[in-house]
Amino acid sequence: MLNSGTDMTANDDDDRELLEMYLDDELSPDQLDQLRARLATDPAVAAEVENLRSERQLRAAMFSSLEGGEEAVVERALAEVHSLDQRHQRRAGHVRKLRYAMAAAALIIVGFLVGWMGATGGKSNASASEPPYRVEILDESGQVMAVQKFQTLEKAREFSDDLQQWQVRQERLLNGQVTVHSAKY
């Protein structure tokens, strides 16, 4: 049987746990039937349920007393959220502009062509006095954007290698945004 206050036996403690579960609506149907039978016949158990109920009522009042004042907190939190959002959008805008600028720069050198322009070959407008080797810088559609001429093949290759390395660096920076459309030697 349940005693009042805190002078409890082990059985009382088990009983209290059972009664708490009853008030928490956590008893199985069998447990509920058994407890209802006890409540009908044992006034001490019924009294303990009332005691636990009043303790719970006090806690409910305490929890309710913690409510209120949330408006200011919510407004501050949402202001912070909006500010984060704006910062994020500004940063995204900057990154986008930077990417466009880098992509534009990279597209100028999407391809290069090293060719021999000697008297027996090459382009029709090449004259015999011009340096025989040239590196053409092509855009993505294959149009010649710039031409650099060289007296030797080694120098032309060296320049073209430098260009290629530069382009690789650009591609890495752009994280795959630019592809090489032609790389002819």
Partner 1 sequence: MAETKGDLFEKAVRLHSRRLLAIARAIVGSAAAEDVLQQAILNLYQHRERYDWTQPAGLMRRTVVNEALRLLRQPRMSLVADDHPGRSETPVGGMIQAEMIQQVRKAIARLPEHFRAALVLCEYENMSYVQIAEVLDASVPQVKTWLHRGRRQLAEKLKAFADERKLKDAQ
21 binds partner 1 (CB under 8 A): yes
x/- letters, 85..124, toward partner 1 (CB under 8 A): x---------------------------------------
Rg from Cα positions in the chain: 42
Q: Is 52 buried (19+), middle (13-18) or exposed (0-12) by CB count in 10 A?
A: middle
User: Is-contact 126 117, C-beta < 8 A?
Assistant: yes
| Residue closer to partner 1 (CB basis): 17 or 154 | 17
Minimum distance from CB of 1 to partner 1 (Å)? 18
Shortest separation between residue 24's beta carbon and partner 1, angstroms:
6
Show the site string, 29-58: x = touches partner 1 by CB under 8 A, - = not: -----------------------x--xxxx
Nearer to partner 1, 64 or 125 (CB): 64
Q: Which token pair is 61? A: 């009042």
H/E stretch holding 159 reads helix 153-173
Annotate each residue in 59-88 with x if it binds partner 1 (CB under 8 A) or - if it does not, as one string: xxxxxxxxxxxx--xx-xxx-xx--xx---
Cα 136–Cα 137–Cα 142 angle in degrees, nearest 5 = 100
How is the beta sheet containing 111-116 ordered, strand by strand? 111-116, 133-138, 144-150
Contact positions vs partner 1 (CB under 8 A): 5-6, 13, 16-17, 20-21, 24-26, 52, 55-70, 73-74, 76-78, 80-81, 84-85
